[in-house]
Amino acid sequence: MSPVRVMIVDDHPVVRDGLRGMLGGDPDIEVVGEASDGREALAVVGTLRPDVILMDLRMPGTGGADAIRALAARGDAARVLVLTTYDSDADVVPALEAGATGYLLKDTPRADLVRAIHAAARGEAVLAPSVATRLVSQLRMPAQDTLSERELEILVLIAAGETNRGAAGRLFISEATVKTHLLHIYAKLGVNDRAAAVATAYERGLLVPGREDPTRRA
């Protein structure tokens, strides 16, 4: 498989240099370029054709959330993985609503960042633990009682090994809708990836072996 093409967007040169150095030694990741703010990112993304954009949020000029929104409006195929210092509701919610695939903090260990980049390239949602916790607090309801029927249907398919795209096709919904449901599931279960969501759902009895495939027809 080809390396995941990554673009770094951050207004601090030292951060860009650090990320480039951190990721440069991974043969499965290729850093194809960088930008110092959202406006510059929007101008060069078509030329660089990244699979994943590591996007800071608070930047002079065009910030990260605005850039994510503009990329989504243009239908750009690149996945955006927010990488920032801030995990307040005022930062997290607009970024996710704008279309970010995931949200990580800059103290994320290298191994976790690499895994998140590959997950984002596959279209999988990834949340930093503190972000998942904040979203749970925002929901203000017991996690085990709040999964909707649609969320359970998606968990069944994910537990069976379906990708986001596969689950979308089987449920006749968009891949973006599946990602949104997964973010809600992560927040409600207090986890930050699909494997943990499935494991936690089994632990809490939300998923049971043999649960009927929601796409099966009589």
145: containing domain? 136-203
**Count of structural domains within the chain:** 2
Tell me the CATH number at 160.
Answer: 1.10.10.10
**Torsion-angle region of 205 (φ positive above 0: left; ψ -120 to 50: alpha; else: beta):** left
Task: Please tell me whether residues 31 and 70 are part of one structural domain.
Answer: yes
pLDDT of residue 33 exceeding 50, the answer is yes
> 155 and 85, same structural domain?
no
Q: Are residues 85 and 183 in the same domain?
A: no
The answer to whether residue 217 sits within a structural domain is no
Task: Flag whether 216 is in a domain.
Answer: no
- Residue 141 has a pLDDT of 47
**Mean pLDDT, residues 139-161 taken together:** 77
Same domain, yes or no: 141 and 110: no
| d(C-alpha 205, C-alpha 197), whole Å | 12
Task: Examine the domain organization and report whether 70 and 144 are in the same domain.
Answer: no
| Whether 113 and 37 share a structural domain | yes
Q: What is the mean pLDDT of the chain?
A: 87
Is it the case that residue 202 has pLDDT exceeding 70? Answer: yes
Residues 14 and 111 in one domain: yes
Within this chain, do residues 73 and 116 fall inside the same structural domain, yes or no? Answer: yes
Q: Given a cut of 50, is residue 144 above it in pLDDT?
A: no
Residue 127 identity (one-letter amino acid):
L
Q: Which CATH number covers residue 69?
A: 3.40.50.2300
158 and 179 together in one domain: yes
In a domain, 85, yes or no: yes
Residues 11 and 106 in one domain: yes
Q: Quick check: 212 pLDDT over 80? A: no
Q: Are residues 174 and 95 in the same domain?
A: no
Domain termination site, one of 95, 123, 151? 123
Q: Are residues 117 and 184 in the same domain?
A: no
> Which residue has 């494997």 as its token pair?
195
Residue 176, pLDDT above cutoff 90:
no
- 26 belongs to a structural domain: yes
Domain boundary among 123, 147, 178: 123
Query: What does the alpha-carbon distance between residue 172 and residue 185 come to, in Å, rounded to a whole number?
Result: 19
Strands 4-9 and 29-35: parallel
65 belongs to a structural domain: yes
pTM of this structure? 0.67
In DSSP terms, which residues pair with 54 in a beta bridge? 8, 81
118 found inside a domain = yes
Q: Which helix (H) or strand (E) holds 7?
A: strand 4-9
Gyration radius of the chain's alpha carbons: 17
pLDDT for residue 67 is more than 70: yes
pLDDT at 132: 77
